[in-house]
Amino acid sequence: MSVHYFSPGPASLPESVRNQIKEELLDTFGIGVSVMEISHRSKQYEQLNEETQAIARKVFQVPATHSILFSPGGAQQHFSVVPKHLSAPGEEIAYTDTGVWAHLACEEVFALPRKVHLVFDGRTNDYVSLGNPQDWDIPQNSKFIHLTVNNTVYGTEYPTIPTFGNIPLVLDMTSSLAARTDIPWESTALVYASAQKNFGIAGVSVIIMNNDLLEKSREITKHNHLGKAHSYHAIYDAKSALNTPPVFSIFAMNRMLNWIDHSGGTPAMEQWSLEKAKMIYSEIDAGLYIGRTHKNCRSRHNFVFKLPTEEQDNHFIAEAAKHNLLEIKGYRCVGGIRVSMYNGVCMESASVFAEFMRDYRKKYG
């Protein structure tokens, strides 16, 4: 059955990537062994790992000043681990609370012995906007400022990634890596993202860290008593195979990154995301639907809106399901509708959804 799947993550993979994975699954390397069984010390896996590092660097447009590593698990693991690489007890760090995931990241650091400055608190406006970053009062000696570039639940995103002079950025790009070309690398200490939205499946996260800070973190993590398996320098030294890596997730990420590359790379993904977003926001703005966020910080991936009543929300979701338009219910603490379109959602699915919105408005608006 052909469906249009708008899940907020794990998210759709392009059909050709799904088919490729299916075809390669049982004998991935031509030696009669599947990628699910291959030893991570085999030369086949070592080659896959190296190729994936190279294609990740190309697709994410990472300069030579930064190192890349793959870490098992999701992005949340890094909420408490990142600050232990970049700051020592008592030091000042700056955080922003712009949504569900940013809030969880804040909770984790407030439990650490750091002077944490909450420089923007989106709870005060129910997370409908990202404020004006240039007005934020950030202590100059902050070791870094943490930003969540795209807020998956509330549907907000920085139109350009802000910078703050000499204060290094730490960017949660879980729902934006491989879809934005404007990462200000010279100002960026660290980027982290789990793969299951824009460039792969669940089970692996990518960490991209400034080389000098990676070196410095060898001492800092010792003082913070961070275990080896959580230390980015140790994972980097072990070529991302310190623990047994999530081999299948890395394989799937490899195939998805290659698809992105062959499709025109991150510039093409960015362009398509903006076009898909334009189609849906035009429908939201045409009446009946009520967009949740300020227009100047709308997400290019997560479109959050509602209808005038909860009954109409439910009716809309049920009607959409009849057209095989699936997984559009809003997040549990937000309600309404959330339609997510990452790199794997094709332009045709976006236009089918926009058309459905138009027809629904004509019929019920």
Site string for ligand PLP, 119-158 (x = CB under 6 A): -----------------------------x---x------
Q: Measured from the CB atom, is 28 or 205 closer to ligand PLP?
A: 205
Shortest Cβ 295–ligand PLP spacing (Å): 21
Q: How many CA atoms lie within 13 A of 297 on its CB side?
A: 25
CA pair distance 350, 356, nearest whole angstrom: 10
Asked if 253 touches ligand PLP (CB under 6 A), the answer is no
Shortest Cβ 134–ligand PLP spacing (Å): 23
* Distance (Å) of CA 311 to CA 154, 306, 318, 331: 21, 10, 11, 16
Asked if 172 touches ligand PLP (CB under 6 A), the answer is yes
Ramachandran category for residue 215: left, alpha or beta (phi over 0 → left; psi -120 to 50 → alpha):
alpha
Asked if 101 touches ligand PLP (CB under 6 A), the answer is yes
28 is in an annotated binding site: no
- Out of 175, 187, 224, 349, name the contact with ligand PLP by CB under 6 A: 175
CA pair distance 358, 287, nearest whole angstrom: 10
49 is in an annotated binding site: no
* Distance (Å) of CA 258 to CA 5, 126, 255: 22, 39, 5
Q: What is the full DSSP assignment across 139-177?
A: -TT-S-EEEESEETTTTEE-SS---BTTBPEEEE-TTTT
Shortest Cβ 350–ligand PLP spacing (Å): 20
Shortest Cβ 194–ligand PLP spacing (Å): 3
163 is in an annotated binding site: no
CA pair distance 270, 264, nearest whole angstrom: 10
Tell me which H or E stretch contains 322: helix 310-322
136 is in an annotated binding site: no
- Out of 20, 44, 76, 80, name the contact with ligand PLP by CB under 6 A: 76
CA pair distance 129, 33, nearest whole angstrom: 50
Q: What number of chain residues touch ligand PLP (CB under 6 A)?
A: 11
Asked if 75 touches ligand PLP (CB under 6 A), the answer is yes
Q: Measured from the CB atom, is 148 or 266 closer to ligand PLP?
A: 148
Residue in the structure block whose two tokens are 């549907």: 155
Q: Measured from the CB atom, is 93 or 220 closer to ligand PLP?
A: 93
152 is in an annotated binding site: yes
Binding residues for ligand PLP, rule: CB under 6 A, are 9, 74-76, 101, 148, 152, 172, 174-175, 194
